[in-house]
Amino acid sequence: MIIPKENHSIMNIKVNYKKIKLKDFLMTELGLSSRLFKKLIKEKNIFVNNKPLNDIYNLVKDDMITIKFEDEKPVYKAQKMDLDIIYEDLDLIAINKNPYILVHPTKTHIENTLTNAIAYYFKSNNINKKVRLVNRLDMDTSGILIVAKNPYGQAQMAKQFKNNIEKKYIAIVDGIIKEDKGRIDLPIMKEEGGIKQIVDERGKR
């Protein structure tokens, strides 16, 4: 049972097992990764009944677990831009991305990206976390962009993208498509001196 959280940095969970190891409970109930669990234990950011504990602790029914995610310094410059937010909770934001805008800064385009806009949104709403992009879209592509507000949200959404989420794209093409279905299986690579992907025998499938 997950109790409503006070902010983006605190997670409270009430134990409903008679007896279970702390690590087993968090990995079973929350799907917490072993890597994140070790990090939180090392930082002493897992508490049971307000006391920081190690990974060998045995939980009992009605114990209250609190997980704290440390505040983080922003990585990218915050810039005020309009964001079309279609969903938001304490762990993630879903943004409707318009075409013709970069998702994240590059060497040649370090400002005026969606990541800069999200950094400004985080700063304005006291979300003291890095911008964690769960998925990315090309500059010319529109679609839904998922951004996590903490490491747990990022790990859970990444797992769903890998196992449960199917991506579909709608494209406008020139000419007549003869077949209703088909497969394009050609090697592609980045164009020399450019950013476009092209078909080339030196590329990857």
- Which residues form the catalytic set? 138
CA dist., res. 8 & res. 152, Å (int): 10
Nearest to 129 by CA among 158, 159, 164, 154: 154
Report whether 144 contacts 97 (CB < 8 A): yes
Q: Judge whether 110 and 76 are in contact, CB under 8 Å.
A: no
- Burial of residue 136 (CB within 10 Å: 0-12, 13-18, 19+) is middle
| Helix 151-163, helix 34-42: angle, nearest 10 | 170
Q: Could you count the other beta carbons within 10 Å of the beta carbon of residue 29?
A: 16
